[in-house]
Amino acid sequence: MRRNSLDLTAIVDAIEEVLPREQEFIALHEPYLVGNEWTYIKECLDTGWVSSVGKFVDKFEKDLAEYTGSKHAIAVVNGTAALHICLKLVGVAENDEVLIPSLTFIATANAVSYCGAIPHFVDSAINTLGLDPKKLDSYLQEIIVMKNGFSYNKETGNRIKAVVPMHTFGHPVDLDLLVNVCEKYNIELVEDAAESLGSYYKNQHTGTFGKVSALSFNGNKIITTGGGGAILTNDEKLAKLAKHLTTTAKVPHRWEFVHDHIGYNYRLPNINAALGCAQLEKLADYINKKRALAKRYDEMLKDIDGITFFKEPDFAKSNYWLNVILLDEANLELRDMLLRILNDKGIMTRPVWTLLHKLPMFRECPKMDLSTSKLLEKQIINIPSSVVLGDSYNA
């Protein structure tokens, strides 16, 4: 039984035991570039194909689709752009409400706002750190009225068009339950899979449960294109429209410039896609290293009273993008002290994002009871999770 005390020295010692001793500074998550990156990028430079078209864009999209099991992948300039287009593709319109966790990176809410829509904040589950489908279902039963087959918020009068679960730190939400909620209320499921490339829910890759989903390849993600993202979909028509909208909606012609929609210059350059192709070739090994690192952390931290190392839900296989320790409720006031000690030692650690409903631009948005999110905000500490840190533990 855990005691209501926290041995900060024991925690620091355990984390230091996992990490390489020779490094003065250890980042939270940094790129791992050990494959064909130089070769592929040099080819772009040698041939001049460095911009928005080229063979590496096509290859990256094909390889992503094959890896995730999605029929189509459309590469774009970043994960926020991917999510923005996903919301457009499922028909999110001005003044629609989109259900998103308050415990997520701000890009989730920003993408909703780009559509002129309204973020509607919902609570997270303690066992996934992501959106809680059971609690959401109970909440929607209270606030929704159905009109012409669509869900409307009876308090605001706005249509509730979509829900965007974010697979927090790579850990999948309970997608079966969430799919049921979406079907019950005719709400579109758009997965924010920015952090979960390589994560599986019941042996199916995240990002393949709704009509569309978004991935991110920012410099701190499990693989990187420097900056980049992708849209996943099994719908051929939506895939073609996504490609069209993200290439400024230009109608193909040998010399004329005709555009038939408001489009977006969201194309991923070939040189970035080249980096992504090389990274994707190593992804299976990266995941093995990250899971080995998580296992080592768990071994070193499991007997320390006052904290819990967060592990993947039973129904999932996670990429463990960012490792998490949770403070027991009795020790929440020691969070900042632990963060200070570790960062002073050159071990980069951080709390979770500020809950989005607290930010000035979102304070007036609708929200449900967020008690679990508020607790998690105080409990979560992310610890170093770079692929290279798992080298010595990967069997």
Q: Can you spell out the DSSP letters for 212-271?
A: EEEEE--TTSSS--SS-EEEEES-HHHHHHHHHHTBTTBPP-SS---B-S---B-BPPHH
Tokens 């791992």 locate to 32
d(CA 116, CA 107): 14
In the prediction, which pLDDT does 1 show? 37
pLDDT digits (tens, 9 = 90+) for 172-200: 999 999 999 999 999 999 999 999 999 99
For CATH 3.90.1150.10, list the domain ranges present in the chain. Answer: 8-31+283-393
Strand blocks (E) in the chain: 72-76, 97-101, 118-122, 144-147, 150-153, 160-163, 188-192, 200-201, 204-205, 212-216, 229-233, 307-309, 316-317, 323-327, 350-351, 380-383
* Alpha carbon 262 to its chain's center: 27
d(CA 108, CA 165): 9
For CATH 3.40.640.10, list the domain ranges present in the chain. Answer: 37-281
pLDDT digits (tens, 9 = 90+) for 57-71: 999 999 999 999 999
pLDDT digits (tens, 9 = 90+) for 266-292: 999 999 999 999 999 999 999 999 999
Q: Has domain 8-31+283-393 been given CATH number 1.20.1440.230?
A: no
Global confidence as pTM: 0.96
d(CA 78, CA 216): 6
d(CA 143, CA 155): 7
In the prediction, which pLDDT does 139 show? 98
pLDDT at 4 over 80: no
CATH no. of 37-281: 3.40.640.10
pLDDT, average across residues 165-174: 98
pLDDT band (50, 70, 90) for residue 395: low
Tell me which of 14-18, 22-26, 113-117 is least confident: 22-26
Q: Tell me what the pLDDT averaged over the chain comes to.
A: 96
Give the CA distances from residue 18 to residues 15, 114, 252, in Å, rounded to whole numbers and listed in that order.
Answer: 5, 42, 54
